[in-house]
């Protein structure tokens, strides 16, 4: 048994942690936010835009790490405005149109003015 961090020059450094790690046959993906990797800043404007960007970022980590959205088993969503739950669900359905993962969601406070973060546990291809 071991723990294997996933790193890639294609993945932005978000903090003093690995973008993802492998252990026990699973992939653990760090919380992804709506930061546009081209600009390094959060997507402004409607929540949906920021929310979609968070899942775009999640998909990138999954792909580089040898997984995919279809293999995500569990996501934990932290968001900051209860009023955005419907928008979250709309985006969620777009991202996972069938066989969606299990989910937990809670309204919290997030750093950097971010309105959403989503982490994931996924199977590996």
Site of interaction with a copy of itself (CB under 8 A):
1-3, 5, 15-26, 28-31, 70-76, 78, 82, 85, 89, 92-93, 96, 99-111, 117, 119, 121-125
Q: Within a 10 A sphere around the Cβ of 105, how many other Cβ atoms?
A: 16
Compute the least distance from the CB of residue 85 to a copy of itself, in Å: 5
Nearer to a copy of itself, 43 or 75 (CB): 75
Question: Which of residues 1 and 39 has its CB atom nearest to a copy of itself in the complex?
Answer: 1
Q: Burial of 80 by CB count in 10 Å (0-12 exposed, 13-18 middle, 19+ buried)? A: middle
DSSP run (H or E) holding 55 = helix 47-64
Give burial (CB, 10 Å; 0-12/13-18/19+) of 1. Answer: exposed
Q: How far is the CB of 111 from a copy of itself (least distance, A)?
A: 5
Give the integer Cα–Cα distance in Å for 99 and 44.
Answer: 30
Minimum CB–partner distance for residue 98 and a copy of itself (Å): 9
Minimum Å gap between C-beta 25 and a copy of itself is 4
């Amino acid at each position: 048994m071991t723990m294997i961090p996933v790193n890639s020059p294609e993945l932005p450094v978000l903090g003093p942690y690995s973008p993802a790690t492998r252990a026990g046959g699973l992939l653990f993906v760090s919380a992804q936010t709506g930061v546009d990797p081209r600009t390094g800043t959060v997507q402004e404007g409607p929540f949906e835009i920021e929310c979609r960007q968070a899942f775009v970022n999640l998909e990138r980590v999954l792909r580089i790490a040898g997984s995919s959205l279809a293999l995500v088993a569990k996501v934990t969503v932290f968001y900051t405005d209860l009023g955005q739950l419907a928008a979250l669900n709309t985006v969620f359905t777009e991202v996972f149109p069938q066989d969606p993962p299990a989910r937990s969601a809670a309204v919290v406070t997030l750093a950097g003015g971010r309105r959403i973060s989503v982490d994931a546990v996924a199977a590996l291809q």
